[in-house]
Copies of this chain bind each other. A is one copy, B any other.
Amino acid sequence: MIEVEVKVKADHENVRPILKKIGAAKVRTEIQSDTYFAAPHRDFAKTDEALRIRSLDGQATLTYKGPKLDGISKTREELETPVDEFTITRILHALGFSEAGIVRKIREVFRAGEIIVCLDAVEGLGEFLEVEIMAESEKDLETSSHKLFDFLKQFGFGAKDSIRTSYLEMVLEKKNG
């Protein structure tokens, strides 16, 4: 499965009435703390990969994200496994990985048909709207991507609004002035 994602900057105040109108159902609210790691043997900023520990309600997940697969969305291969947070952190340190940055956000998750809609309020960065579809294979990417951009039109967003910069990159850009 490949997660096809599009992200835009969006005031949640403007998004909520439209979500309501189209009948999107609230699924849950998550308080996510994501610690990203830098590798000792390659520069993830250059290879466009990411390695992250997400802590959520006391349960931790290790996620690897591969390079983006197309030029317009932020679609990537994602591999996720549950882990013990304390131990995997020590294992990564022992292997030479180091903390690159932390992204904290409140994510409200809605469902509108096959599309997952996330309202993200990111510490230090502001409010975003992220929409996702799970694609079976790479050949479904274009179709899925079209569906997401069609969906976003209802909120007044077009392809030009798509932000492919990750929250981590934004956090680091802000930190480094």
Contact = CB atoms under 8 A, between A and B. Distances in A.
Interface stretch (A86-94, A117-125, A167-175): A86-94
A139 interface: no
Contact of A96 (B41, B77, B79, B91): B41
A49 B40 CA distance: 16
Classify the secondary structure of A's interface with B.
mixed
Contacts of A40: 41
Interface residues of A, number: 23
Nearest to A87: B81
Nearest to A97: B95
Contact of A94 (B64, B80, B91, B96): B64
Contact of A81 (B41, B42, B49, B84): B84
A82 interface: yes
Contacts of A10: none
Contacts of A79: 87, 90-91, 94
Contacts of A64: 90-91, 94-95
Given A39-B41, A62-B83, A79-B94, 16 more contacts: A41-B41, A41-B96, A51-B91, A62-B88, A64-B90, A64-B91, A64-B94, A64-B95, A77-B94, A80-B87, A81-B83, A81-B87, A81-B88, A82-B82, A82-B83, A82-B84
8 contacts: A40-B41, A62-B83, A62-B91, A64-B95, A81-B88, A82-B82, A82-B84, A83-B83
Closest 5 CB pairs of A and B: A41-B41, A81-B84, A81-B87, A64-B91, A81-B83
